[in-house]
Structure 1
Amino acid sequence: MHFEKPSKEKPCTQPTVKKLLEQKRKRETSSVPPSCSHSSLASPTFTLSAGEPSNCPGGSNVHLDMAVSSQIWTPADEMLFSYPPSQPGPSYVPSYNLPQESLVTEPGLSSQWPIRAEMDSCQTSVLSFGSPLDANKLQEARIIINGMDYSRTTEQDEDGDTILHIYTAKGLRECAYAAADILRSLGRLDAKEHKGKTALLVAVTANHPEIVHDLLSLGADINACDVNGQTALHLAAHYGYDVVLQALLSSVSPAVSPANLEARNFEGKFSSRYDTLHCAALSHCVTMKAIYTGGLSDARLQTKAGDKLTCVARLLNAGASLLSQEIKSNKTVLHLAVKEGNVDLVRFLLNTPLPNMKAFVNMKAHGHTALHMAAGLHGNPHQREMMQLLLNRGADPSIRNLENDQAAHLLQSGPVGEQLKVLLKRRNTSSRRRVLSSQDPE
């Protein structure tokens, strides 16, 4: 449906949200912030902060194999995700971590990619997403919007975009707020464009945490999903937008329902249904593979890895479950991290407090434990380290998969495989001794 305009009025030149996001992808190296000015209202040349996302799973689909692979490990390409390099401005610098006293301090479990630390847990309820709305700009925006044709301010175009979608994608905060106020009065604050995105989902995708905060304060549905079943939390976790995720999780408005951390996206070309924690873990895996394979000196990748690991920590602290399994193959985030060769995420997950870590480490995904998957990572430079970390946290080498194979049976041939067999055999022997010792009469 096109906007209806009087015959003397010039055609609307507002670009669609899709075009705005496409423009952003061409400007990924730019970090110029948009501003809300009169001239910018009609200009399509704005720097956005995110591209149109692919489906939530990572760039590599190696993790989708239900069987343990015995092929040579190959890295995923960081560019398979269209992550923007631009980072939030100074007013968006977040700080966060799980409470320090709750972390396991076992040697060898520390990550080389530090999470932004916030020791005082009570501060997590007092958050700031930059300066408040500019009253003068807000008044100007309302005057401009009220002077437009009514259909332009309230209706959707042929792509389903409302003027709120457009202003949100451009990052025009005061203009978006004024438009949102009008649509809220009509009960259309959560109107969806052709890909099912509400204005809130567009704000998340475009990495505008202040607009996210504003829309939630006006009552936007935090659990609305797009055509792929991805909620605002899925998208924030997928892109590693920690400050946006902070805005979503910290909303205390009585008009906003609690965010559903366990919401699953829909089955699509990846044939899986992931919750928000899975999305954050897979996103971190993609960046870490890029770092492992030549990006150690890339400050942008290191910053991105830290942000994404912070997203994982934030979701866990908000109540996301480590025990959650994806639908197709029952993988936990530990299975996904091991399968993708992400030793840093494996360290972090094993450093997370759980009542029964041993049970978590030995959970099965279609018969395979994380140790089975680590044994199948032939050629991965972190294979031995991951196996040692898993064994230190209670992985049982005697467990068999659906093919009746133990982890030792999945190791590669040659000297490396023989060394790893010795490692597993040593642990098996040690475990048997402990069992026999516990059975001895006093």
Structure 2
Amino acid sequence: MPITDPSMASSWSPLGPGQSSQLSFCPSMDATKLEEARMLLNGMDYSRTTCQDEDGDTILHIYTAKGLRECAFAAAERLREVGRMDAKEHKGKTALLVAVTANQPEIVQDLLSLGADINACDVKGQTALHLAAHYGFPGVLQCLLLFAASGMTPLHCAAISHGVTMKALSTTGLADVNLQTKAVEKLSCVQMLLNEGASLLSQEIKSNKTVLHLAVKEGNIDLVRYLLRIPLPNMKDFVNMKAHGHTALHMAAGLHGNPHQEEILQLLLSRGADPSIRNLENDQPAHLLQSGLQGEQVSCPSFQVLLL
């Protein structure tokens, strides 16, 4: 059966305040439908899946307004690759703000999990929280509050946002001037937060990750370089902090296939990362390196000693 484009279907009306969703965790997505949605996008003209129409809408705005969860998720993945997931339509609404006003808690949760900006506001200055409270959507409000309670500081948010842009740059190529400018601006936000007293040692409540864990996990070499150049008196303690048992060195060892893996490993080791620390599975970082020739090519002397 051919896969049809749901964005061409008849218009969909948002649920009203009296039809609010249940206060519960959003159910898991239909994996089959998600794969079909990804196939649909792959078959479309690339510009249609990444550009905005005359009203400023992306295909993500359209799928979100229609409540098409799997299609919206696939579209968000595509737009995240090119750094446009928070594109705004003519009223200043990102797809997240559209999901909120359409009373779509599942899509709200999905977009937040993919890195949508929870603090984005429309032309009236209204954020997602403002809109959820204004329209009286408890299910949506719960999703937003749960995300806000995850313990992410502004520094964590800035680091994640920078990582998303750097990943988009690696996908589209370094010739994208707009993304290059955005990456510089986002790194400057990290610098400003640190200059104003944000703590490098702060950890997310849920994952216990520091900003260094976040940077390493994404293979964000620019941010890793910046963080490890900071003259921190207790740098050794900082680089060896654990997130659910994993140090940044464990995470770097798991960056299989990442072009910056070796440099990140060497940077961490040069700043005092301890290769003998074990995680909750009793693994040292060296045990998490990729196997075979590729792993052998990661030439970190401290690791080689441990592997002997």
Shorter-chain TM-score range: 0.5 to 0.7
User: What is the deviation of 1:401?
Assistant: 0.6
Aligned to 2:41: none
Q: Closer, same or farther in 2 for the Cα pair 1:350/1:228, shift >3 Å? A: farther
- TM-score, L = length of structure 1: 0.40
Aligned mate of 2:86, from 79, 82, 85: 82
Q: Closer, same or farther in 2 for the Cα pair 1:196/1:279, shift >3 Å? A: farther
1:285 is the counterpart of 2:222: no
Q: 2:215 touches 2:221 (CA, 8 Å); kept in 1?
A: yes
Greater displacement, 385-394 / 304-313:
385-394
Q: 2:169 touches 2:179 (CA, 8 Å); kept in 1?
A: yes
User: What is the deviation of 1:329?
Assistant: 1.5
Aligned to 1:395: 273
Q: Percentage identity across aligned positions?
A: 61
State the structure with bigger RCO (CA 8 A, min sep 6), 1 or 2.
1
Offset from partner CA, 1:274-312 (integer Å, 9 cap, x none): 111000000000000111223200000000000000000
Aligned to 1:354: 232
Q: 2:239 touches 2:247 (CA, 8 Å); kept in 1?
A: yes
* Structure 1 segment 33-432 matched on structure 2, within 5 A: 77-79=81-83, 81-83=85-87, 169-170=122-123, 193-196=130-133, 227=141, 266-268=145-147, 272-420=150-298, 422-425=300-303
SS of residue paired to 1:194: helix
Structure 2 distance, partners of 1:389, 1:227, is 42
Q: 2:240 touches 2:248 (CA, 8 Å); kept in 1?
A: yes
**What letter is aligned with 2:269?**
L
Structure 2 distance, partners of 1:273, 1:25, is 38
Q: 1:397 touches 1:427 (CA, 8 Å); kept in 2?
A: no
SS of residue paired to 2:186: helix
**What letter is aligned with 1:267?**
L
Structure 2 distance, partners of 1:169, 1:422, is 49
SS of residue paired to 1:267: helix
**What letter is aligned with 1:194?**
L
Structure 1 distance, partners of 2:261, 2:55, is 38
Structure 2 distance, partners of 1:353, 1:427, is 28
SS of residue paired to 1:391: helix
Aligned to 1:188: none
User: What is the deviation of 1:77?
Assistant: 1.9
SS of residue paired to 2:297: helix
- TM-score, L = length of structure 2: 0.57
Q: 2:286 touches 2:306 (CA, 8 Å); kept in 1?
A: no
User: What is the deviation of 1:229?
Assistant: 9.5
SS of residue paired to 1:412: coil
Structure 2 distance, partners of 1:25, 1:276, is 33
Aligned mate of 1:27, from 43, 56, 71: 56
User: What is the deviation of 1:424?
Assistant: 3.1
* Structure 1 vs Structure 2 CA RMSD: 3.9
Larger radius of gyration: 1
Structure 2 distance, partners of 1:366, 1:25, is 47
Structure 2 distance, partners of 1:272, 1:26, is 34
Structure 2 distance, partners of 1:294, 1:410, is 30
Q: 2:262 touches 2:299 (CA, 8 Å); kept in 1?
A: no
Q: Closer, same or farther in 2 for the Cα pair 1:25/1:418, shift >3 Å? A: farther
SS of residue paired to 2:303: helix
Number of residue pairs aligned between Structure 1 and Structure 2: 203
Offset from partner CA, 1:80-113 (integer Å, 9 cap, x none): 631469xxxxxxxxxxxxxxxxxxxxxxxxxxxx
Offset from partner CA, 1:386-437 (integer Å, 9 cap, x none): 11111111111111111111000000012221132653335769xxxxxxxx
Q: Closer, same or farther in 2 for the Cα pair 1:323/1:26, shift >3 Å? A: farther
Please state which structure has a larger fraction of its residues in helix.
Answer: 2
**What letter is aligned with 2:132?**
K
Structure 1 distance, partners of 2:245, 2:306, is 19
**What letter is aligned with 1:279?**
C
**What letter is aligned with 1:358?**
K
